[in-house]
Structure formats: C-alpha cells, structure tokens
Amino acid sequence: AQSVTQLDSQVPVFEEAPVELRCNYSSSVSVYLFWYVQYPNQGLQLLLKYLSGSTLVKGINGFEAEFNKSQTSFHLRKPSVHISDTAEYFCAVSDGVPNDYKLSFGAGTTVTVRA
Amino acid sequence: NAGVTQTPKFRVLKTGQSMTLLCAQDMNHEYMYWYRQDPGMGLRLIHYSVGEGTTAKGEVPDGYNVSRLKKQNFLLGLESAAPSQTSVYFCASSPSVVIEKLFFGSGTQLSVL
C-alpha cells in the first residue's frame, strides 16, 4: 500500500506571495496522484490530479503541481495566493490497477494567507 | 443537485452507546467510502464498498461495521462507542474503477464522552 508524506504541517504566507506545498509518496510501479482542498467546515474538493501524460498538471484556482517520478514527489504551487486560499490541503495517492480505487491521504498542510 | 449527503452533522455519544451514520448519494456511483479525519493524521479509510451488497475493510476498520444494501446508501455503524472514535467522519463516492474524482459529503462531527 502507498504512503504519503506532506513535509509541512503549517505554511503561513502573505497575500500575493507564491506558495509551494511539498508531497512525497512511497514508490510503486504506477500511481495516480491528487491534491484536495478543504475549506473551513466543509468536505474535500479536488484541486487537480495526475493520471498520466504531462508531468505538469494545472488545476482550479490557479494551482499547479509537478509529478517527479525519480524523486517520487508531487509538489503543489501557486504563484500568487489570495486570502481565500486559506484552507487545508491534502495530497493523496492511489495505487495503479488493480488497486486504483483506494486513496491514501497525507496528514495535510494548513495554509494561512495573511494580508 | 444534492451529491453526497451525510446525516447527522453533529452527534455526542456516551461511551458504550451505539449509532449509525448515513451516507446517501444521488449520482449512481458504484464506489463508496468512509473516512475519519483526525488532527495531524489526515484522512484514514475505515471501510469501502465497490458495489451494492459488497463491503471491505480499509486502514482502520476496528470498532466499525458497514452495510451497502442499496446502491445509493452506505451506512457506518458504531456498536459500542469509545472516546478514541471521537473524530470527523467523511463519506465519499466515486463513479468508476479508476479514481478520477472523489465526491465528499460535508462530514459528521462525532464526540464520544
């Protein structure tokens, strides 16, 4: 089974500054990778996903992530954050077929954007 | 467009009491999941179902039971609640064998005293 490590538990950042959230996963033959966001008192929403193809993935709200197979990483970035990006962010990984229907989540990174 | 609905949203139990959490989805999804969310630990899979009438254990199944008698519903039961089961519980569903997107409910906050 996969495991996911989010290297930062809390990331404070000023408005309009860039942010990077780091995610590493344990090695496997093939994986699917995801970033989810949880706004206060809500369920999780999908930000972006990597299933195959281009290693640079663009998601909603200006976020992007890069899949690096050799470093088993899937870091999330945004060039300029807004107050509304304050949330908890979860990296998740799914084993490839035939166990691709189960996700393993990281512990989460809390992003706090300050004016 | 309801999506995934969880009931109740909040509940306080005493140690030893039992309860059932209900998850309902109206998207005709085959796969359904129950997760618990604890501070610093992210989401951990309790049980899941790959179709009506099927259930399987996830990462942390002890103390919980589940049933999927109807495709749209996935029930999570606590037979004898313990303080260690204080958590936020999320239900999710997915349409296909390749997880492209999980659809989450808004969560149930459970406190066991």
pLDDT of residue A43: 85
pLDDT of residue A68: 92
User: Using a CB cutoff of 8 Å and minimum separation of 24, what contacts does B61-67 make?
Assistant: B64/B34, B66/B34
Over residues B82-108, the mean pLDDT reads: 89
Half-sphere exposure at residue B90, Cβ-oriented, CA atoms within 13 angstroms: 21
DSSP annotation of A80 reads S
Over residues B5-30, the mean pLDDT reads: 96
Q: Are B14 and B112 in contact (CB under 8 A)?
A: yes
Over residues B87-101, the mean pLDDT reads: 85
Plot region of B47 (φ>0 → left; ψ -120 to 50 → alpha; else → beta) = beta
Is 80 exceeded by the pLDDT of residue B98? no
What is the rounded CA–CA span in Å between residue A4 and residue B16? 34
How would you classify the pairing of strands B108-112 and B10-13?
Answer: parallel
* A114, two tokens: 């300050």
Single-letter amino acid, residue A112: T
Is 70 exceeded by the pLDDT of residue B86? yes
- Under the banding of pLDDT at 50, 70 and 90, the label for residue A3 is confident
Which residues 44-73 in chain B show a CB within 8 A of chain A? Answer: 44-45, 48, 50, 58-59
Segments making up each domain of chain B, as ranges: 4-95
Best to test chain A binding among B36, B37, B55 (most A CBs inside 10 Å): B37
Domains and CATH numbers, chain A: 4-114 (2.60.40.10)
Cβ-Cβ contacts under 8 Å between A and B: the total is 61
Highest mean pLDDT: which range of A17-31, A43-57, B10-24: B10-24
pLDDT of residue A102: 77
What is the rounded CA–CA span in Å between residue B104 and residue B5? 9
Summarize pLDDT for A69-115 with one digit per residue, the tens.
889 999 999 999 999 999 999 999 987 666 667 788 999 999 999 99
* Closest alpha carbon to B38 in B75, B100, B83: B83
* Residues in chain B closer than 8 A to A9 (CB atoms): 40
B106 and A CB contact within 8 Å: yes
A51 and B CB contact within 8 Å: yes
Give B98→chain A minimum CA distance, Å: 6
- Considering the domain delimited by B4-95, tell me its CATH architecture: Sandwich (2.60)
pLDDT of residue B1: 62
Residues of chain B above pLDDT 70, percent: 96
Question: Residue A105: phi, psi to the nearest 5?
Answer: -105, 150
pLDDT of residue A81: 97
Summarize pLDDT for A9-27 with one digit per residue, the tens.
999 999 999 999 999 998 6
Summarize pLDDT for B41-75 with one digit per residue, the tens.
889 999 999 999 999 999 899 999 999 999 999 99
Of A49, A90, A97, which is closest to B43 when you measure between CB atoms? A90
Q: B68: helix, coil or strand?
A: coil
What mean pLDDT is reported for chain B? 93
pLDDT of residue B53: 94
* A3, two tokens: 């495991």
Lowest mean pLDDT among A38-47, B19-28, B95-104: B95-104
Q: State whether the Cα torsion B99-B59-B72-A39 is positive or negative.
A: negative
pLDDT of residue B101: 82
Report the length, in residues, of chain A.
Answer: 115
